[in-house]
Structure 1
Amino acid sequence: MIPRRTLLTSCMFLFAAVTAVTPDESYGAGGVGPLVLVVSKSFPADGISFGDLKRAYMGGRIMVNGKQLIPVTYPKGSPERIAFDEAVLGMGPEQVGLYWIDRKIRGQSGPPKDVPNAATVVWIVGKVEGAIGFVRASAAGDDVKILRVDGKLPSDPGYRL
C-alpha cells in the first residue's frame, strides 16, 4: 500500500504535468462566492468542527470518522489562502510564515501542501481519501462534497469562512 503523503504528492505532480495553468488561473482568480471546504464524495462525514479544521491546518493530526485529514492549500499570497488563513487560523501571511518556521525548528510537522489552483484542489480531494481543501463555492462542482463547518453551510447565518 502506498503511503497517503506519497500518493498525494504523486497525484499533485501528475495533475500539474497534464494541465496547463495560466498566471491568471494560478490562484483561482475569477472565483466568486464564499470559501467552502471540499472532500471526496465518499468521505464519511458531512461536517467538521471549526476547532478541528483549525487544528488540521495548523499541523495537527485530525481524524474524522476514522479518516485522517490531509489538508491542501493555495500558495502564499493567493487571495483564497489569505482569506482562509485570516478566517480560520486568525493570522495574516507573515504570521503564518513565522508559525511554520517555528514548527520546523522544533522538528514538528510541516505545512499543508500547496496546490496551484481550485481545479487542482477539487481534483486532489476527489481522488485522495481524507484530503480536504477549500475553494470558492463557484468552483466546487459535482465531483466533491462540501462540508459543513460547525453544522453550517455558506448560505447559513454565522458561517465562518
Structure 2
Amino acid sequence: MLQLTLLKTMILMGGLSFTTLAISSELVLVVHKDNPTSMLSRSQVIDLYMGKYVAFPDGSKAVPVDIENDLVIRTKFYDSLVGMSLARVNAYWSKVKFSGRARPPTQQKDEKAILAFVKQTENAIAYIHESSVTDDVKVVYRFYE
C-alpha cells in the first residue's frame, strides 16, 4: 500500500514534466507532400522559424506557419526548438521586424487550418501533432529524433 501511494505521488509530481515531454515529442514539422525537401536538421528549422533563412535547402522560398489559437502548443514548440519562452520569441520578432530583416511566421488559427494551408501552399512548413498528419503533408522533422 505504501509503495502504491509513493508511486501515485511520484506520478503526480512528475506529471507536468511528463506532459511537457509528451507534447513536445508529439510535434512534427510538415511540408506539402510535393515539396522536394525530405528532411531538415534542427539548425535548419531554427533558421527558418527565427528568420535567419527564408528558403528551403533547394533555394525555394519557405513559408513558416505558427499556430495562433493554441498557446500551449506554440509555447512548447519554441521551448523545444530554441529554449525560449513565447514572450522572448515575441520580443525577438519585434526587434527583427523593426529592423526589416525578416518577417515572423504567418499564423493559422488551428491545426485544421494549418493542414489546409500547407495542402494549398507548396512551400509552407508548419508544426502539428504527429497524430494529425495526413496524406497531403510530409514530415520533415521530428522533435524526438
Change (3 A) 1:40 1:103: same
Q: Percent identity?
A: 28
Say which of 38, 42, 48 aligns to 1:50: 42
Task: Return the offset for 1:100.
Answer: 0.9
- 1:114-140 Cα offsets, whole Å, 9 max, x none, are 110001111111111110001001111
Match of 2:78 in 1: 85
Change (3 A) 1:142 1:33: farther
Match of 2:135 in 1: 142
Say which of 46, 59, 67 aligns to 2:51: 59
Match of 1:4 in 2: none
- 1:69-127 Cα offsets, whole Å, 9 max, x none, are 11001127611110111111221011011101111222222210111000111111111
How many angstroms apart in 1 are the aligned matches of 2:29 and 2:48? Answer: 12
Match of 1:125 in 2: 118
Residue identity in the other structure for 1:54: I
Change (3 A) 1:63 1:47: same
Task: Return the offset for 1:45.
Answer: 2.0
Residue identity in the other structure for 1:37: L
TM-score by length of 2: 0.75
Contact residue 73 and residue 134 of structure 1 kept, 8 A? yes
The runs of at least 4 aligned residues of structure 1 exceeding 3 Å deviation read none
Give the greater-gyration-radius structure (CA).
Answer: 2
Task: Return the offset for 1:32.
Answer: 10
How many angstroms apart in 1 are the aligned matches of 2:24 and 2:110? Answer: 14
Say which of 98, 105, 125 aligns to 1:105: 98
Root-mean-square deviation over aligned CA pairs: 2.1
Contact residue 58 and residue 89 of structure 1 kept, 8 A? no
Change (3 A) 1:120 1:49: same
How many angstroms apart in 2 are the aligned matches of 1:38 and 1:142? Answer: 11
Structure with greater helix percent: 2
- 1:48-82 Cα offsets, whole Å, 9 max, x none, are 11111101101122332232211001127611110
Change (3 A) 1:142 1:63: closer
How many angstroms apart in 2 are the aligned matches of 1:86 and 1:101? Answer: 18
Change (3 A) 1:76 1:105: farther
